[in-house]
Amino acid sequence: MMHAQWSAYKISKRLTYILGAANVGMIAYALILAHPSSAEARILPHQKGPTQWEFIEPEQIEQGATIPANTHTVIHLPFNFRRIARDVLLGNSGERVRYWGYCLPENYPSETVAARTGLPGKLFLSEAERTYREEQEQAKKPSFSIHRLPTKKDLQKQRRTPMLIRHEVEMFTPGLLCYIMTQEPLSIGLDADNDLFNTKMEKNIGTDPESPDTDRDGIWDGVEYLTQTTPLIRDTDNDGLIDGLEDKNWNGIVESGETDPRKKDTDRDGLCDGLCRVRLGSGQEALLGEDLNLNGILDDGETDPLKEDTNGDGILDFAAYIQCQIGQSTTCPKK
């Protein structure tokens, strides 16, 4: 009896999803018909046969899934999170990948629904898609000058030109049912550890979806991924300093007073920012660098990793070090 009840529940749940998917699909299709030049025709390549439909359930999003390219896809977000940013949910790909979508309205108050014009739900477009659409609209506009004044026909045509579809959704909330069309596959998932990196992306590269800082260098995994340091290695550039010591405020941006965790030798003076093994001309190896105790602070007896010539004598720090070793300088730091 219990098994039969559970089966009936699953069937009922599935029917609810299917009806919801059909609903959002019909709205998306109506949007395509209403704006054929600014919807499907702009993101789908020419292809034979009908476009496939895909449905991604809440459980799949919790585990991490992939939205296929050039496919009508409906997603149903789970209920076990508070909210998630669009770009995190969709794999931090908005700047690079063209995608657009539509979400059915939430349980807004009746006065909010009544005040909306156009479609009842809200649209979202990636940054790349918005840029593309704006460029296309600009290309359509005729150029006028003192030698080419607009005609009455030009003015009438401009009045008939539909407005660009407006991006409206930046934060996604639990339970939303949405339609997505993308030009390239998108990794979709939640962000349980709040490191700006969704579950699918973490599984793709091997970071821990339950830990915001897999390599324990002080910088969140998502920030490292987006700014080209390695969330699996504490010292991306292998200069002896962990990434979090170089990027002092852990925001992924090289700012004043910070060395670059992507470069061994930020000031290009021949000495690495921290402490590195260097092969000398004699064939011998030595540990050389600017931050000799690897604490991220400029101490007495150390050269400045942000200045190629720390004492301003016109000799690069590495060359000055060599001169000191062979006794050709009298301004060497005390050991």
Q: What is the DSSP string of 39-107?
A: THHHHSPP-SSPPPEEEE-HHHHHH-EEEPTTSEEEEE--SSSS-EEHHHHTTT-TTTS-EEEEE---S
Q: Are 279 and 187 found together in one domain? A: no
Task: Look at residue 37 in the predicted model and tell me its pLDDT.
Answer: 43
Task: Look at residue 105 in the predicted model and tell me its pLDDT.
Answer: 73
Q: Are 61 and 200 found together in one domain? A: yes
Task: State the residue for tokens 């150390």.
Answer: 302
| Domain finish residue from 185, 205, 225 | 205
| Domain finish residue from 205, 232, 247 | 205
Task: State the residue for tokens 């990196």.
Answer: 197
Q: Is residue 210 part of a domain?
A: no
Q: Is residue 259 part of a domain?
A: no
Task: Look at residue 228 in the predicted model and tell me its pLDDT.
Answer: 93
Task: Look at residue 144 in the predicted model and tell me its pLDDT.
Answer: 61
Give mean pLDDT, residues 233-239: 96
Q: Is residue 247 part of a domain?
A: no
In the chain, what percentage of residues exceed pLDDT 70?
Answer: 70
Q: Are 167 and 293 found together in one domain? A: no
Task: Look at residue 17 in the predicted model and tell me its pLDDT.
Answer: 53
Highest mean pLDDT among 3-12, 19-28, 45-54, 91-100: 91-100
Q: Are 196 and 283 found together in one domain? A: no
Q: Are 279 and 201 found together in one domain? A: no
Give mean pLDDT, residues 138-152: 69
Q: Are 161 and 36 found together in one domain? A: yes
Q: Is residue 176 part of a domain?
A: yes
- Tell me the C-alpha distance between 301 and 286, whole Å: 18
In the chain, what percentage of residues exceed pLDDT 90?
Answer: 56
Partners of 181 in the β-ladder: 100
Task: Look at residue 118 in the predicted model and tell me its pLDDT.
Answer: 59
- Tell me the C-alpha distance between 165 and 298, whole Å: 53
Highest mean pLDDT among 5-19, 21-35, 131-145, 165-179: 165-179
Q: How open is the CA angle 131-250-309, to the nearest 5 degrees?
A: 100
What pTM did the predictor assign?
0.75
65 by DSSP, 3-state: which? strand
Least confident stretch, 33-47, 185-199, 209-223, 225-239: 33-47
47-65 core/surface letters (b: 16 or more CB in 10 A; e: else) = eeeeeeeebbbbebbbebb
State in Å, rounded, how far the first CA of the chain is from the last one. Answer: 84
Give mean pLDDT, residues 191-217: 96
Q: Is residue 331 part of a domain?
A: no
Give mean pLDDT, residues 199-226: 96
The phi, psi pair for 203, rounded to 5°, reads -65, -35
Q: Please say if the pLDDT value at position 207 is more than 50.
A: yes
Q: Is residue 7 part of a domain?
A: yes
Q: Which range of residues forms the domain containing residue 116?
A: 2-144+151-205
Task: Look at residue 304 in the predicted model and tell me its pLDDT.
Answer: 95
Q: Please say if the pLDDT value at position 36 is more than 50.
A: no
pLDDT, tens digit, for every residue of 59-89? 999 999 999 999 999 999 999 999 999 999 9
The total number of structural domains that make up the chain? 2
Q: Please say if the pLDDT value at position 46 is more than 60.
A: no
Q: Is residue 198 part of a domain?
A: yes
Q: Is residue 214 part of a domain?
A: no
Task: Look at residue 283 in the predicted model and tell me its pLDDT.
Answer: 74
Task: Look at residue 320 in the predicted model and tell me its pLDDT.
Answer: 87
Compare 56 and 139 and report the one with higher pLDDT.
Answer: 56
Task: Look at residue 11 in the predicted model and tell me its pLDDT.
Answer: 42
Give mean pLDDT, residues 48-69: 90
Give mean pLDDT, residues 127-142: 83
